[in-house]
Amino acid sequence: MEVGHCQKSAPTPTPLPPDKRLGYAVVGLGHLALEEVLPALSNCKKSRLVALVSGSPEKMKKVALQYGISSENCYTYQTFDQLKNNASVNIIYIILPNGLHKEYVIKGAKAGKHILCEKPMANTVEECREMIAACKQAQVKLMVAYRIQFQPHNRKLREYIQQKTFGIPKYIEACNAQSTANVNHWRHNKALAGGGALPDIGLYCLNTTRFILDMEPTEVFAYQYSTPGNPLFKEVEELVSWQMRFPSGIIANCATDYDVHESRRYRVNCQKGWMNLDKAYAYKGQKLTTARAEGTLELQQEVEIAENNQFGAEMDHFSDCILNNRRPFTPGEEGLQDHIIMEAIYLSAKLGKPVQIPPADAAKWRGPEPKIS
Amino acid sequence: MEVGHCQKSAPTPTPLPPDKRLGYAVVGLGHLALEEVLPALSNCKKSRLVALVSGSPEKMKKVALQYGISSENCYTYQTFDQLKNNASVNIIYIILPNGLHKEYVIKGAKAGKHILCEKPMANTVEECREMIAACKQAQVKLMVAYRIQFQPHNRKLREYIQQKTFGIPKYIEACNAQSTANVNHWRHNKALAGGGALPDIGLYCLNTTRFILDMEPTEVFAYQYSTPGNPLFKEVEELVSWQMRFPSGIIANCATDYDVHESRRYRVNCQKGWMNLDKAYAYKGQKLTTARAEGTLELQQEVEIAENNQFGAEMDHFSDCILNNRRPFTPGEEGLQDHIIMEAIYLSAKLGKPVQIPPADAAKWRGPEPKIS
Amino acid sequence: MEVGHCQKSAPTPTPLPPDKRLGYAVVGLGHLALEEVLPALSNCKKSRLVALVSGSPEKMKKVALQYGISSENCYTYQTFDQLKNNASVNIIYIILPNGLHKEYVIKGAKAGKHILCEKPMANTVEECREMIAACKQAQVKLMVAYRIQFQPHNRKLREYIQQKTFGIPKYIEACNAQSTANVNHWRHNKALAGGGALPDIGLYCLNTTRFILDMEPTEVFAYQYSTPGNPLFKEVEELVSWQMRFPSGIIANCATDYDVHESRRYRVNCQKGWMNLDKAYAYKGQKLTTARAEGTLELQQEVEIAENNQFGAEMDHFSDCILNNRRPFTPGEEGLQDHIIMEAIYLSAKLGKPVQIPPADAAKWRGPEPKIS
Amino acid sequence: MEVGHCQKSAPTPTPLPPDKRLGYAVVGLGHLALEEVLPALSNCKKSRLVALVSGSPEKMKKVALQYGISSENCYTYQTFDQLKNNASVNIIYIILPNGLHKEYVIKGAKAGKHILCEKPMANTVEECREMIAACKQAQVKLMVAYRIQFQPHNRKLREYIQQKTFGIPKYIEACNAQSTANVNHWRHNKALAGGGALPDIGLYCLNTTRFILDMEPTEVFAYQYSTPGNPLFKEVEELVSWQMRFPSGIIANCATDYDVHESRRYRVNCQKGWMNLDKAYAYKGQKLTTARAEGTLELQQEVEIAENNQFGAEMDHFSDCILNNRRPFTPGEEGLQDHIIMEAIYLSAKLGKPVQIPPADAAKWRGPEPKIS
């Protein structure tokens, strides 16, 4: 028996008994669901998988067998509305193409279930508003799955900013880029995806910057570019590079691209030091580095923090909110605000001039800070 | 819905249906079981938790509830032998203090169950031989839980050696050290632990060096030291520093200490480059770096490899061996060989001179290479 | 005698005999001259210190003694014009506050000496044009001291771009920031400095991006900010953050700040990998890292390159141009182009909209590539 | 003019006027002299090159021209003794094959000049004793060129040990390896080199460990190995791997090899952290990393320290000792002690058992700590 490695571990996790955990219906069995969400549910403390929804009967049958879901807990999009009769389902997790979010969030709300919706929340600001209204009317909770806000390295960096550990931040450099290749994927279809690199991956730069600064931008200026002739970018854009101006004078320079080697990071440049987070938006592997001076020495510090499962953390947070009747930390309004800014970014790139963002205050929509183990 | 991060992912995992997975009885509910093994079982593809054995009824009750284990599948050390009547149990995983391994491995074998035994395998060479014999007689498989041999970074480094990517290795530097503080823990009790830093953590340097080199040492020389007056080291040693000589002329310099800041690494120095593995023996966070020259440039390369859950990997490997009736990659003889070398190390330190190791060939006891996703 | 470390060294340097090296008169004995330029001259191969010009007789006396410069080779700004009678002086190196560059470059040219001028070249585009014209008329060579263009890591990265080692670049993130504190320093005086962070340090982002891409931007958009009430920024700006658009569609996001912890780096994001240069603009300590994928592995590579002395390299390059009657790699027109772009950056920040840059082609003004050992 | 980079710089260096600097005669114009020592002298503050000694008239002529040394200041080994008549020569720096050190140190002492001798000091303990005696009798100072003891990163690490910044050290891992290829080089000739990897490069592990610990080992155990049939190792050894035991219980594991990719590092493992120095023994590029815990965080810190020129630092230190009539920090006895230990290492490898080292105390021979800028 091995006894090491214990000294810095978190307190022993104490999962709720299986029958006390809230039941999730997972809607959409794509890569994200199969490779991340379903395995994460197996190790959740307050959540468990109870139902599946898919348009592919064969795939669903296989997955159901693997995860021990009986056939009466398997639904198609035609039978989606019957979820309302399934008492074991507390939460519906929408993992569909962006263009379908609105329809199924509203349907789910009408079924009387709480809704966790993948990001981007929808295709347009208008859709977001409808979704929020529908959930409000149905008296169910709505949360957008901003997993980064439940990730320990990002949270630690935000804490450093709040505590002014490195003094006041002056500007931020953020980018989220990856290489895509499958022209038939729905992400290159404007109607289903709503846009290209910006809503899919650039959104992380936008949302995380707002999250760590606890501040809302007042103006954006953006360039947009797609390599001519590349069929991937026939409908949706390849590159968006934008600056955001914040009330305190901070500038954030952000970039996203669909034809660039994977690069998911940001750096916060402060008066007395900087913080850099590599793999900031990845599922794991975050690497937090900080720098500051001490006398004549320059100290560059790698801060090792135990990783968590971000999907598990956000699902358990939502279960916790429901169990305790609290607002989620990232409710629908959090997704709406990102769409307001993304529309301004697109408009700026189109007009070739800066675009203003209406004043907003996230404190008005956020629930209490999540406790992340 | 987010669609990135997919391009380099492993193929979609395909867990066996729950009722096809082999059933594990976990014996001993200490830190390792609670924080690593039980959560790992929740995500295994071919293994699942079906029974618990503990001397603490209260703790067991809580854990059973958390993991959905019914009370008839909970055993004490008094009722351990009744495991033989539990058809859902295929494998017994012994996670007890080292000094108790022999007794419960033999009991488990007599119950007709396959045995996975934590490392170090036992307290003495003699005990290891008895355990191997008992499992042979009972016609059950015996595997020692050398999780590092199922860890992707360590396996990749071994592959580099096999392929002579950096030429021939000349010497290895390995250390595994940590800071311990609890004088009441059984690891500081000679009868329960069998020794101090060497069998508990130094064993990793020894076993991993043999594993990556695919070679057995022929001679060792060792120093042993314990800080005088430190009550932690009243019964067991603090520091062992030893050299191992291999037939090809390679030397491995190893060190282990119970009163040193956590440091778990090794470096293989080869003719045309070196390979360094930080956090080599940790549960996760391995960082593989290599160096070589290219013309006038010196290239230092960090090789990112997707992590796995080592505990899950070794449990699923053992399940796979049983499902396919194959020898495990790390059977009892693998543990025996380490104990033969550890006894030589202790003897060298005691005599103040080198000690020979009898010739051995791991190919004779190892089963086929595991497939690690 | 130690014989290692040789295998990767550059060929043995072969300095010219002292009396064959070209003679430099160093004008201005501030930090840069005392700590960098004078020591660099001691190890130059084709250049040597022969004269000093300073407004501080005491300081000059001390420095002259230290460097073995006789009193007849020491000049004041009043006697500057007498340099024309000093046959040992081939080159005048202007290391004065920016606002004085024009006056002394023109005077030096009229004295019939070749001119090396520190960057930024001047305060305005108009001044640059006058300086170029004066040197042309006097038939002397004019070079701007862009030391980064003579620095091996930056040159290697440029080579990677030229060879498309990581595919086509899509966007660049660059920043050069530092913390300044002395409100009495001329750099905070608009008349002497011409501007704030932008011409002093932000210029590196601008010039180096143009250098590595071998391309000229066509449009800029900029934000400018100074913390209200900070006396350092009464006359000159603190922060400039700007985007530059290049003809190929590449976007460069640049930022510079005078009240931020030292951060001097850029990253080039390409289709098949990225290149990151830390300490890119520092005097030494450059760290070049690249990333790319190889099958399922992500390889992050630190490329170690022998450092040079950038000041020595640029002075020897200029001596070499004069000895061989060639255009310098960074002539006056190179400085002029940066000033054209900086004026557009300031204008954009003032107007709140993008500003176009007239087409330009550096190949028209650059001399042959320097050979950097 | 550029004004950044100044805030953390050392105070402005103040070289002595050239005619006040002490004059060095450099004996032997191999790689080390040409590529390191002569350039370093050009930037020394208290030392300067005044004479050359070489057996190759042509090479000497070229070098003399390059460095402005007149022909009357050029000597052959036949005219070496005439150095005594050259008043400009204060110090003779012996950079010859090891086997010639004794002869020329003694000749130099008899010429009444102070002696700086490259490491290893000689071929045997006996030779070292003769050299010390000769210098004593001639009343000249003798220093061994242990440049690492004048290197800032190594000195900082030693300071951390002295101040117990990371608690008490428990064991050290050190290695110095490189790849050699030229079978005709004198380093593979036993009579000229005295040994193989051990005295040439392994010596750094030995000397630096003693230096940073301020402690002398009491026992060594060593393995020695040379790849059979490799002509490089016909006379001298390839690999030595040894353990050193110190009075406090600390163990140092050291290894050196002549057929291994360059690796020059050590790590000090302490109770509360570790310190790692990469490129520890290289001419430049040292990288100091430390680790410690802070609450649940593991902090790994890279400590950036301004580099110096080690050769310049040791030459100026020796000049300083002479100008102030002080013992050098690394006198002949420092070299003698290393030879005593190296002879024990060779003996241990030959006998296959540990060898004791007589008690010693470096405080008895060291002069005051050098001031390193």
The shortest C-alpha distance from B207 to chain D (Å) reads: 19
B190 catalytically annotated: no
Q: Residues A89, A51: contact at Cβ < 8 Å?
A: yes
Which pLDDT does position A154 carry in this prediction? 98
Q: How far is B319 from chain C (nearest CA, A)?
A: 27
Chain C and chain D share a number of CB contacts under 8 A equal to: 111
- Contact between C293 and A352 using a beta-carbon 8 Å cutoff: no
For C141-158, what is each residue's pLDDT tens digit? 999 999 999 999 999 999
What number of C-beta contacts closer than 8 Å exist between A and D? 39
> In this prediction, what percent of chain B has a pLDDT beyond 90?
94
Residue D264's closest CA among D342, D179, D174?
A: D174
SS3 sequence of chain A? CCCCCCCCCCCCCCCCCHHHCEEEEEECCCHHHHHHHHHHHHCCCCEEEEEEECCCHHHHHHHHHHHCCCHHHEECCCCHHHHHHCCCCCEEEECCCHHHHHHHHHHHHHCCCEEEECCCCCCCHHHHHHHHHHHHHHCCCEEECCHHHHCHHHHHHHHHHHCCECECEEEEEEEEEEECCCCCCHHHCHHHHCCCHHHHHHHHHHHHHHHHHCCCCCEEEEEEECCCCCHHHCCCCCEEEEEEECCCCCEEEEEEECEEEEEEEEEEEECCEEEEEECCCCCCCCEEEEEEEECCEEEEEEEECCCCCHHHHHHHHHHHHHHCCCCCCCEHHHHHHHHHHHHHHHHHHHHCCCEECCCCCHHHCCCCCCCCC
Kindly calculate the radius of gyration of chain D based on its CA atoms and give it in whole angstroms: 21
* pLDDT at res. D167: 97
Residue D102: active-site member: no
Task: Residue C177: list chain A partners with CB under 8 A.
Answer: 170, 269
Helix (H) or strand (E) holding C314: helix C310-323
Residue B96 to residue A1, Cβ atoms within 8 A: yes
Phi, psi of D316 (to 5 degrees): -65, -35
d(CA A338, CA D69): 72
Judging contacts by C-beta atoms under 8 Å, the chain C residues touching residue B8 are 293, 296, 298
Token pair of A191, please? 């109607």
Residue B295, classed as helix, strand or coil, is coil
Q: pLDDT per residue over A279-314, tens digit each?
A: 999 999 999 999 999 998 999 999 999 999 999 999
Write the burial class of residue B128 (CB in 10 Å: 0-12 exposed, 13-18 middle, 19+ buried): buried
pLDDT in tens, D313-327: 999 999 999 999 999
Residue of B nearest to C300 (CA): B302
Q: Do D243 and B239 touch (CB under 8 A)?
A: no
Segment B7-11 mean pLDDT: 41
Q: Tell me the C-alpha distance between C225 and C237, whole Å.
A: 7
Query: Across the interface, which of C296, C297, C304 has its CB nearest the CB of B298?
Result: C304
Give yes or no for B185 touching A (CB within 8 A).
yes
* pLDDT at D2 > cutoff 80: no
pLDDT tens readout for residues D271-301: 999 999 999 999 999 999 999 999 989 999 9
Helices C152-162, C203-213: axis angle to 10 degrees equals 40
User: Within an 8 Å CB–CB cutoff, is residue D159 touching chain A?
Assistant: no
* 3-state helix vs strand vs coil in chain D, percent to 5: 40, 25, 35
Count Cα atoms within 13 angstroms, Cβ side, for B195. 26
- What pLDDT, on a 0 to 100 scale, did the predictor assign at position C7? 36
Residues in chain C within 8 Å Cβ distance of A278 = none
Residue C77 near chain D (CB below 8 Å): no
In tens, the pLDDT along A305-351 reads 999 999 999 999 999 999 999 999 999 999 999 999 999 999 999 99
pLDDT band with cut points at 50, 70 and 90 for residue B6: very low
Whether B8 and chain C come into contact, CB under 8 Å, resolves to yes
**Which listed residue (D102, D113, D119, D141) is catalytic?**
D119
Q: What is the pLDDT of residue B5?
A: 38
Closest partner residue to C269 (CB to CB) among A175, A225, A271 is A175
B68 in contact with chain A, both atoms CB, cutoff 8 A: yes
- Chain B residue with minimum CA distance to A144: B1
Segment A13-21 shows an average pLDDT of 87
Round the average pLDDT of chain B to a whole number and report it: 95
Binary contact (C301, B306; C-beta < 8 A) = no
Distance between B151 CA and the closest CA of chain C, angstroms: 15
Q: Which residues between 231 and 290 in chain A have a beta carbon less than 8 angstroms from any beta carbon of chain D?
A: none
Nearest by CB to residue D304, choosing from A10, A298, A306, is A298
Choose the catalytic residue: B75, B146, B160, B204: B204
Kindly name the residue from B46, B107, B119, B141 that is annotated as catalytic: B119
What single DSSP character describes residue B284? S
CA C298 to chain centre: 35
The CA distance from C321 to C371, in Å, is 11
Contact (CB<8Å) B304/C297: yes
Residue C369 reports pLDDT greater than 80: yes
Give the pLDDT score at D217: 98
Q: Is the pLDDT of residue D333 over 70?
A: yes
- Partner D, chain C 90-109, Cβ-Cβ below 8 Å: 95-98
Q: Which of C293, C301, C306 sits opposite B300 (nearest CB)?
A: C301
pLDDT of residue B12: 53
Which ranges of chain D does DSSP label H, i.e. alpha helix? 31, 38-42, 57-67, 101-110, 125-138, 152-162, 190-193, 197, 203-213, 310-323, 332-351
Contact between chains at C177 and A166 (C-beta distance less than 8 A): no
Q: In this model, does residue B317 exceed pLDDT 90?
A: yes
Predicted pLDDT at D226: 97
- Phi and psi angles of residue D211, each rounded to the nearest 5 degrees, phi first: -65, -50
B15–A185: do the CB atoms touch at under 8 Å?
A: no
Give the gap in angstroms from C-alpha C373 to the nearest C-alpha of chain A. Answer: 29
Quick one: closest CA in A to C354, which residue? A353
Q: How far is CA C308 from CA A56, A329, A362, C284, C285, in A?
A: 63, 52, 51, 8, 10
Determine which of C3, C62, C201, C288 to mutate to test the interface with D (most D C-beta atoms within 10 Å).
C3
Mean pLDDT of chain A: 95
State the catalytic residue, choosing from C24, C146, C160, C204.
C204
Q: Region D56-74: what's the mean pLDDT?
A: 95
Asked if residue A8 has pLDDT above 50, the reply is no
Please name the amino acid found at residue B20: K
- Statement: residue D11 has pLDDT above 90: no
Contacts of D165 (CB under 8 A, 6+ apart): D273
Which pLDDT value is given to residue A1?
42
Of D1, D62, D284, which is closest to C98 when you measure between CB atoms? D1
Compute the nearest-CA separation of A267 from chain D (Å).
18
Spot the catalytic one: C102, C119, C146, C346: C119
pLDDT (average), residues C109-128: 98
The pLDDT > 90 percentage for chain A reads: 94
Distance between CA D293 and CA D301 in Å, rounded? 11
Residue C102 has pLDDT above 70, yes or no: yes
A170/C259 touch (CB, cutoff 8 Å), yes or no: yes
Q: If pLDDT is split at 50, 70 and 90, which confidence band does A14 have? A: confident
pLDDT confidence band for C3 (50 / 70 / 90): very low
pLDDT at A2 over 60: no
Which distant-in-sequence residues (6+ apart) come within 8 Å of B185 by Cβ?
A: A3
- Of the partner residues D296, D304, D306, the one whose CB lies closest to the CB of residue A8: D296
Q: Give residue C6's pLDDT.
A: 35
d(CA B368, CA C10): 49
d(CA D172, CA D175): 10
User: Any chain A CB within 8 A of the CB of C200?
Assistant: no
